[in-house]
Amino acid sequence: MTNHTLTVSAPGKLMLFGEHAVLYGKPCIVTAVDQRIRLKAKIINREIINISAPQVGIKKYTIKVSDLGKVEYPKGVKFLLKAVEIFFKKYKVGSGLDLETKSEFSSLFGFGSSSAVTVCAVKALSKLFDIEVDNKSLFDIAYQTVLSVQGVGSGFDLAAAIWGGTIFFENGGKKIEPINVNNLPIVVGYSGIKADTATLVKRVAGLHKKEREKADKIFNSIEKIVKQAKLALEDTNYFKLGELMDQNHTLLQKLAVSIPRLDSMAVSAKEAGAFGAKLSGAGGGDCMIALTPDKSVRKVKKAIKNAGGVVLNVKFNAEGVKITYDKSKNES
Ligand code: PMV
């Protein structure tokens, strides 16, 4: 029997440009953040899967391998178990497992913990079962997992978790292009409010259904912004990027996904010297980002706090999924 233990880690993400429009065939830009999820995985000699995920309230959960796909999974570990179920089915493998997750960030921030965990799971299983899975196949399995758990999603967060860096992305992974970014002087403000992505996606879908022309016009404008932002990022043109952030935020307001807290955090950051600011992600809460010249960082941070936000210290362009520990011991 092979006693194989490994640890995989994947980064969280922040959407820079193009949220919501990406679900309507437009591109977006996402960056990986230096706060990671870790998954420790081990094949065990019993036909059960033990999961410990204390940060999502699951100290210990056990499920029989034969029950995968047959029972309702607990909320905090749905993505993890669905990924295992899909992987076992696809590659016709199966075994008992010990799985343990740890996160460097709160699942409240909207950094994409579920997607990062899904990516870690598929990566870990490919190693444990010695199956060659390239990044695009990893994306496809992880995307299938996410869609089957939550129904909608562009998969941008999975791309960030897999490839890392900063990425120009199209829905479902139709385009996944790394953008050469030197540095991103961005201050991140957490609104203190948990966003409900599904509700906001539905709200935009409602608008798209009721006022299609208006919604399509907004999505087209966002597309233009995203394309210009890619160039501005490559040229390190922060004045332009800031302007584009402001414009993107205004369009998100028109989609009715912003909230007063995010608006005032963005306005305050601008008044304190940011080049530009916008909400990041679905809206309704979670985080905003402010592109900020070095000389104004302290002021912008203070302004974000005064507007009710919490400044998160994160760096961007982080490395994608990786194996951080791998110990394989052959026993007779
Ligand atoms: O709320 P977040 O950070 O997961 O971002 C959602 C972004 C959307 O474009 C609204 C949805 C998606 O899957 O692209």
Whether 157 is catalytic: yes
Please say whether the beta carbons of 9 and 325 come within 8 A: no
Residue 189's DSSP bridge partners are: 288, 311
Residue 326's DSSP bridge partners are: 6
Query: Ligand 1 within 6 A of 15 CB?
Result: yes
Q: Which of 34, 67, 140, 157 is catalytic?
A: 157
Q: How far is the CA of 285 from the centre of ligand 1 (A)?
A: 12
Instruction: Report the predicted TM-score, pTM, of the whole model to 2 decimal places.
Output: 0.96
Which residue minimizes the CA distance to atom 14 of ligand 1? 154
Q: How far is the CA of 271 from the centre of ligand 1 (A)?
A: 27
Which residue minimizes the CA distance to atom 3 of ligand 1? 281
Q: How far is the CA of 4 from the centre of ligand 1 (A)?
A: 35
Please say whether the beta carbons of 117 and 39 come within 8 A: yes
The pLDDT tens digits along the chain (332 residues) read 457 899 999 999 999 999 999 999 999 999 999 999 999 999 999 999 999 999 899 999 999 999 999 999 999 999 999 999 999 999 999 999 999 999 998 888 889 999 999 999 999 999 999 999 999 999 999 999 999 999 999 999 999 999 999 999 999 999 999 999 988 999 999 999 999 999 999 999 999 999 999 999 999 999 999 999 999 999 999 999 999 999 999 999 999 999 999 999 999 999 999 999 999 999 999 999 999 999 999 999 999 999 999 999 999 999 999 999 898 865 43
Which atom of ligand 1 lies nearest, measured to the CA of 156? 14
Pairing of the two strands 58-64 and 48-53: antiparallel
Pairing of the two strands 166-170 and 186-190: unpaired
Which residue minimizes the CA distance to atom 2 of ligand 1? 281
Q: How far is the CA of 18 from the centre of ligand 1 (A)?
A: 9
Determine the residue of 105, 143, 145, 197 to mutate for testing ligand 1's pocket, defined as the one with the most ligand atoms within 8 A of the Cβ atom: 197
Please say whether the beta carbons of 31 and 316 come within 8 A: yes
Query: Ligand 1 within 6 A of 156 CB?
Result: yes
Which residue minimizes the CA distance to atom 5 of ligand 1? 281
CA angle at 328 for the pair 32 and 330, rounded to the nearest 5°: 165
Query: Ligand 1 within 6 A of 281 CB?
Result: yes
Q: How far is the CA of 270 from the centre of ligand 1 (A)?
A: 24
Beta-strand ranges (E) seen in 45-174 are: 48-53, 58-64, 96-103, 166-170
